[in-house]
Amino acid sequence: MAAILLVDDHRPLRELLAEAMVGAGHVVTQAGDGNEAIRRLGERPFDAVVCDMLMPEADGAEVLAVLRRQQPRPRLVVISGGGSIPPENYLRMARVLGAEEVLQKPFPPSRLIDLLARLLAPSARPQ
């Protein structure tokens, strides 16, 4: 069981992904925008963060900047469906900013669950 912060401004997708992660045994905290995510990151530690790149208020890049300063740093998965530019560009930028994994929307929730299982496995932890 891992504590996961899920950040996405699209409520139906966020709730669908949260339900899948809870079903996989995780404890999920939801945030609807980057500012709320930054507040939540200051409240408690998380094992992983799943964050959209394009959101109102603070965007995913701002959330990633906060995450880079955290110790210990949670595992980071960035998701994006793109916007004015193709999603691959946002996801490439997310990798440069520290994302360990990226997923292009749309994707099945099972893909995120499998990815989190790999990232959170004891053997996947950085030494």
In the numeric block, which tokens belong to residue 73? 């740093």
pLDDT by residue for the chain (127 residues), tens only, comes to 899 999 999 999 999 999 999 999 999 999 999 999 999 999 999 999 999 998 888 888 899 999 888 888 899 999 988 766 777 888 888 888 889 999 999 999 999 999 999 999 987 665 4
What is the DSSP pairing of strand 3-7 with strand 75-80? unpaired
Contact 24, 18 (CB under 8 A): no
Q: Which residues are within 8 A (CB) of 71 and not within 5 positions of it... i.e. 6 or more apart?
A: none
Contact 14, 32 (CB under 8 A): yes
Query: What class has domain 3-124?
Result: alpha beta
Domain ranges of the chain: 3-124
CA 78 to each of CA 13, 85, 114, 127: distance values in angstroms, whole numbers, following the listed order: 14, 16, 15, 22
The model carries a pTM of 0.91
